[in-house]
Structure 1
Amino acid sequence: MSSIARQAGADTPLNRPMITVSIMLATLIQTLDSTIANVALPHMQGTLSASQDEITWVLTSYIVAAAIATPLTGWLSDRLGVKKLLLVAIGGFTVASAFCGLAETLPQMVAARLLQGVFGASLVPLSQSILLDINPPARQGQAMAVWGMGVMVGPILGPTLGGWLTDSYNWRWVFFINVPIGAFAMFGVMSFLPDRPPRREVRFDAFGFATLSLAIGALQAMLDRGEQLDWFSSLEIRIEALLAVVSFAYFIVHTATAGSKSFFRYELLKDRNFATGTCFIFVIGAVMYATRALLPPMLQGLMQYPVATTGLVTAPSGAGTMVAMLLAGRLLRRIDARLLLLSGFLISAFALWQMMHYTIVLSMSDIVWPGVIQGFGLGLVFVPLSALTFSTLRPDLRADGTATYSLVRNIGSSIGISVIQALMTRNTQVAHADLAAHVSVYNPNLQSMVANGSRADLMALNHAINQQASMIAYLNDFKVMFIATLLVVPLILLVRPARQAPTDMAHAAMD
C-alpha cells in the first residue's frame, strides 16, 4: 500500500471521507479562482484606477505564477512532506486571498494575485496524488471522479458565483469567500491527514527549474498578450517566443544530460500510460476547454445577457460534468476505459455540432442543453483518462506526475484559448469585410437606404453587420472545435487498458 496509508495503519485508521472532503475544499477554492474574478474585472477596474489593459494583469499574474510554481510540487513534497506542504499551500493561499480582497491599488492586487498563484499551484496536483495514495487500485476510478469534479466544476461555476457575489455584495467578496473555506480545509488536513516522512536528501536542481520557469513564463505571457499586441508583429511577442524556445531547449538538454540530478523526473516518460495520458490531456485542454471561453462573450456581447444571467445559463454544464464523473467512476469497474473515452468525445462533438447551428436569436434552452451535453461528455473523458494515466505509475513518482499532468493541462488550455480567440478576431474581420462588400448603391435591397444617406440608418446597418460578422466568427470557431474533437479520437488507440497491466497496478499500490 501507499506510504500515507501505511503511516496511518501504524497509528490510527485512515479516515478517507474526511481527508477527501478537506483536500477537495482546498482544490475547489484554487480552481474557482482561475475564473471567479473574470466577471468582477469591470468593477475592480474603477476601484483600482486601472486601464483596460492594466486590469488584465489581475488574471495573467495569477496564471503565470501558478504555471511557474507548479513544477516545484514534486521537489517540495519530497523535501517538506506532503502534509506540511499542503498546510503551507492552503494557509498561504487563504492569506493571499484576504490580501486580494483588501487591495486598494493595482500593484497591491497584482502582488497578492502572484502570491495566490504561487501558493495555490501545488493544491491540485497534491490533491490528486493524495487521493491516489489513500485509495486502493479498485477505488481509484471513483477517487479520480471526485477529484475531477473539483478540478472541472470549479472553473465552470466560477463566473456564476463571481457574478452573484459582485452583484449582491461587492467584488472584494470574490476573494473573501476563500477565507472560511480555506480555514475549514486547513483544519481538516491538520486533523485527519497522516504525515509522510520527507526525503531530506533530495537536492534542488536550480538550473533546471530556472530554465523551465522562464520557458513557461515567457510562453504564458506570449499567449496572454499575443492577441492584444497582434502576435508576431510585436517585438515583445517575438522576444517572449524566443525566450520560451531557447529556455525550453536548454531545459531538455539539461534533463537529458544531468541524469538523477535533473529537476524533471525523466522516469515518468518510461511509463507508457503516463506518457500517453499526458499527451492526451494536452490535446483535451487545447481542444475541449477552449470552447468554454466562447460562450460568455457571445452571450454578453451579442445577445446582451446580464452577467448573472450568463452565469445561470452556462452553469448547468457543470451539472452534466458532475453526473458524468460520478457515473464514469462506477462504470470503470465494468467497461473498458477506452470505450468511455470514445463515448465522451462523440458526445462532446455532438454538442459542438449543435452549437454550430446557433443564431442571433436563441432561447435559454438552446444554450443550456448543448452545455449540459458537452459537460457530460467532458466528464466521461476526464475520469477514465486520469485513472489510466496513473494506473501504472509508481507511488514515489506520483507527486511529480500529478504536477506534470496539471501543468500540461493548463498549458494546453492556454494554447487552445489563445488560438480560438485569435481565430475569433480574424474571422470577425473577414466576415465583416465580406458582408460590407454587399453594401452598395448597386444592391437593390439597399439602394433606398444608401441613397438617402441617413446617418441613423447607416449606423443601424453597420451594427447589424457587426453582429452578423461576430456570429459567423463564433460559428466558425465551434466548427473548428467540432472537427478537432473528432480528429483526436484515434489517439484513444494509444492508451493501454488497465486490465492489461494488473501487475503494474498491484505495484502501484505498494511502496
Structure 2
Amino acid sequence: MSASATSASDAPVLRRGLITISVMLATIMQVLDTTIANVALPDMVGDLDASQDTINWVLTSYIVAAAIATPVTGWLADRFGRRELFLTCIVGFTATSLMCGMAWSLPSMVGFRLLQGLFGASIVPLSQTFLLDINPKEKHGQAMAMWGAGIMVGPIIGPTLGGWLTETLGWRWVFLVNLPIGIIAFLGCVTSLPAVARRARGFDFFGFAMLSLGVGALQLMLDRGAEVDWFSAVEIWIELGLCLTGFWVFTMHLAMNRDTFIDPKIFADRNFLTGLVFIFIIGIILLASLALLPPMLSKLFNHPTILTGLVMAPRGVGTMISMILVGRLVQLIDARVLVVAGLSLTSLSLYMMSGFSPQMDDHLIIWSGVIQGLGLGLVFVPLSTVAFATLPSNFRTDAASLFSLVRNLGSSIGISMVTVLLTRNTQINHSELSQFVNPFNPNLRALSPQAAQGDPSALSTIDQLVNQQALMISYVNDFKLMMVVTLCAIPLALLLRKPKASAGEAPQVHMD
C-alpha cells in the first residue's frame, strides 16, 4: 500500500472497472442463492434422508442466518476493515457452498446453509458501499444501476438456472456453481479493493441481541407459518411474541442510548428513511410476484421448468434495459419523477397481470413482465442513489446493511402474504364456484350433460375445471392487491428531496 491517502472516488478508471466487476460477481453469487436452491428441494429429499416437511429447513436456516447477521455489517466493517470483511465473506461463502454441495445428511446441510447465510449477509451491503465509495457523486446513478441489476436480475434467473442445473447435472451443482464465481471474485477483489481506515467502535451486544431476536423470530414465523397453519399453531404465537418483544425493546434501546451499534442519527435523514419504506415495498413486489409466477405457469399452464424460465426471462431483460437507461437519466431528470414513472409502470404491469386467464397464451405474461422489469428498474436506481445522497459517508455501511435488511424483510413478508392469500382465496373461490355445479344449472347441462346427471367421471372433470378457475381467480386477486400497494406508494415520492451539491465527503482510503 502507498503511504499517500487518496479519495476512493479518485480511483483510476481501470481500477474502478475491476473493482466493479469483482464486487458484482460476489453480489450476484450471493443473491442467486436466495432462489436458486428452491427448485432443487424435491431432489434433495431422498439423498439427504429428509421428509417434505423438514427439507424446508435448507431454506429457513439460510434466510434466518442472513437476516440476523446483516445489521451488524457496519460494526464488523469498522472493527476489522471493509476490505478484510468482504474478502473473508467471499472465502467463507464459497467454502460453505462447497460444503453444501458435499452434504451427506439434512443436519449437515442445515448447518452448512446456516454458515453460508452468516458469511453471505455482509456481501450485498458492502458491495453497495464500495460502489458508492469508488465513484464520484455524479456517477453514483450509474454505479447503483450496475448494483441494482445484480440485485434484481439474480432472483429472476435463479429458479431457471437452478432447474437447469438440477435436471442436467444434479442438485449438488446448485451450490458447486458458486466455486468458480467465488474464486474469480476473490482474486479480483484481493488485487483491486482499496483499504479503508478502521475506527474503534464498542459493540452494543444488548441492542444486537434484541434486533436479532426480532428479525430471527419474524423470519421463522414467515417461513414456518404456511407449514403449521399460521396462528392455529402455538409455535407461531411464540414467534410473534418474541418478534414484537425484540423489535420493541430494540426501538426503546435505540431511542434512549447513545452507544448503540446502529447510530440513530441515520434515521434523521429523510431521504434514507423514505428510501427504507420504498425498498420495503419493492421487496414485496419483486419477490412476491416471482414467488407467484413459476407455480402459476406450472400448475395452470403446464409449463416445464425450462419453459417457465424462458417465459420469465424477458422480465430480466426489461430490468437490464431500464438499469442501463436510468443510470444516465438520473443525472438529467429529477429522481422523484423517475420513481413515480417506475411505480406507474409497475402498477400498469400488475393491472395487466390481473387480466390473466387459463385460456391465454404466453404473450401477456411476457409483456407484463417486461413492463414490470422496466418499472422496477426505474424505481430501484434513483431510489438507491437518492437514499444515500444526503447521508454522511461514515454512515454508508450501516445504512447499506439496513437497506438490505429491510428489502429482505419486505420480500419475506410479501411472499408469505401472497402465499397465504392464494391458499385461502382458492378455498373460498372453490366453495363459491361449486355452488353452481348442480343439475338445475342450464350452463352445466349444456357443457356436460353427464355431469348434470351425476356421472362421477364427468363430475371429476368439472371439479378440475372449478379448481383451475378458483386458483386463477386467487392469482388475479394477489396481483390486484400488489397493484394497490404500488399505487399507494406513489405519494411517498413527495417526501424525497433533492440532494445538495456536497452531501458528505467520501472516505479516505489507501490505494495500491
Q: Give the TM-score band, short-chain normalised.
A: over 0.9
Partner of 2:385: 387
Distance 1:8 1:360 in 2: 54
Matched with 2:107 is 107
Q: CA deviation at 1:6?
A: 2.0
State whether residues 392 and 508 of structure 1, in contact with CA within 8 Å, keep that contact through their aligned partners in structure 2: no
Give the unaligned 5+ runs of structure 2: none
What is the CA-CA distance between 1:13 and the residue it aligns to? 8.4
Pick the aligned partner of 1:374 from 372, 382, 396: 372
- How do 1:182-331 residues align onto structure 2 when only pairs under 5 Å count? 182-199=182-199, 201-259=200-258, 261-331=259-329
Mapping 1:423-502, distance limit 5 Å: 423-446=421-444, 448-450=449-451, 452-498=453-499, 501-502=500-501
1:357 to 355, 358, 368: 355
Is the contact between residue 4 and residue 195 of structure 1 (CA under 8 Å) also seen in structure 2?
Answer: no
Residue pair 2:10, 2:135 contacting (<8 A) in 1 also: no
Counterpart Cα distance in 2 of 1:171 and 1:153:
22
RMSD over aligned CA atoms reads 1.9
Map of 1:135 onto structure 2: 135
Moved more, 178-187 or 458-467: 458-467
The 8 Å contact of residues 141 and 381 in structure 2, kept in 1 or not, is answered as yes
Aligned to 1:55: 55
Provide the residue aligned with 2:506 in structure 1.
509
Contact 1:223-1:418 within 8 A present in 2 as well: yes
Paired amino acid for 1:136? P
Contact 1:273–1:495 (Cα < 8 Å) also in 2: yes
2:358 aligns to what SS in structure 1? coil
Cα distance, 1:9–1:388 mapped onto 2, change above 3 Å: closer
Cα deviation for residue 283 of structure 1 reads: 2.1
Query: Is contact 1:5–1:134 with CA below 8 Å preserved after alignment?
Result: no
- Structure 1 pair 104–5 and aligned structure 2 pair: CA distance change class (3 A): farther
Counterpart-to-counterpart distance in 2, 1:173 and 1:228: 27
Alignment correspondent of 1:66? 66
Query: Secondary structure of the residue that 1:262 maps to in structure 2?
Result: coil
Task: Note the 1:116-131 alignment, pairs <5 A.
Answer: 116-131=116-131
Identity of aligned residues (%): 53
CA deviations 1:453-485 (Å, max 9, x no partner) are: 332112111111111100010111111111221
Contact 2:9 2:136 in 1 (8 A): no
Counterparts of 2:197 and 2:494, CA distance in 1: 39
Measured in 2, the distance between the counterparts of 1:314 and 1:503 equals 41
Matches within 5 A, 1:65-84: 65-84=65-84
The Cα shift of 1:58 comes to 1.1
Q: SS of the counterpart of 1:6?
A: strand
Shift of 1:216: 0.4
Is 1:39 equivalent to 2:36 in the alignment? no
2:171 aligned counterpart, secondary structure: coil
What CA distance in whole angstroms lies between the structure 1 residues aligned with 2:348 and 2:7? Answer: 47
Q: How far is the alpha carbon of 1:95 from its aligned partner?
A: 0.4
Count of paired positions: 503
How far apart are residue 307 of structure 1 and its match? 1.0
What is the Cα deviation at residue 11 of structure 1?
10
What is the CA–CA distance in structure 2 between the aligned matches of 1:192 and 1:442, rounded to whole Å? Answer: 76
Distance 2:295 2:341 in 1: 29
Contact 1:82-1:196 within 8 A present in 2 as well: yes
Structure 1 range deviating more: 180-189 or 476-485: 476-485
Deviation at 1:509, TM superposition (A): 3.4
Which moved further from structure 2: 279-288 or 158-167? 279-288
Deviation by residue 1:269-313 (Cα, 9 ceiling, x = unmatched): 121211111122112222443222111110011111111111111
Distance 1:195 1:39, change over 3 A: same
Question: Take 1:387 and 1:8, find their aligned partners in 2: how far apart are those partners?
Answer: 17
Residue by residue over 1:318-373, the C-alpha shift from the partner in whole angstroms, topping out at 9 and shown as x without a partner, is 11101101100100111111111111111111111111111102323222111111
Residues 119-146 of structure 1 show CA distances to partners (whole Å, capped at 9, x for unaligned) of 0000000000010111110000000000
Query: Secondary structure of 2:195's partner?
Result: coil
Query: Separation in 2 of the partners of 1:423 and 1:369?
Result: 25
Instruction: Indicate the residue corresponding to 2:406 in structure 1.
Output: 408
The one-character-per-residue Cα deviations of 1:15-37 (angstroms, maximum 9, x if unpaired) are 10000011100000000000011
The alignment's TM-score, normalised by the length of structure 2, stands at 0.95
CA shift at 1:422, angstroms? 1.0
> Which residue is equivalent to 1:146?
146
- In structure 1, stretches of 5+ residues that fail to align are none
Is residue 255–residue 263 contact of structure 1 (8 Å, CA) maintained in 2? no
Shift in alpha-carbon separation, 1:441–1:267, aligned structure 2, 3 A: same
Give the whole-Å Cα distance in 1 for the aligned partners of 2:234 and 2:451: 42
- Partners of 2:143 and 2:11 lie apart in 1 by 23
Alpha-carbon separation, structure 1, partners of 2:214 and 2:149 = 30
Sort the Cα spacing of 1:287 and 1:13 in 2 relative to 1 into closer, same or farther, 3 A: closer
What is the match of residue 394 of structure 2? 396
Misfit runs of 4+, over 6 Å: 7-14
User: What's 2:30 paired with?
Assistant: 30
The alpha-carbon distance between structure 1 residues 13 and 435, as it changes in their structure 2 partners (threshold 3 A), is closer
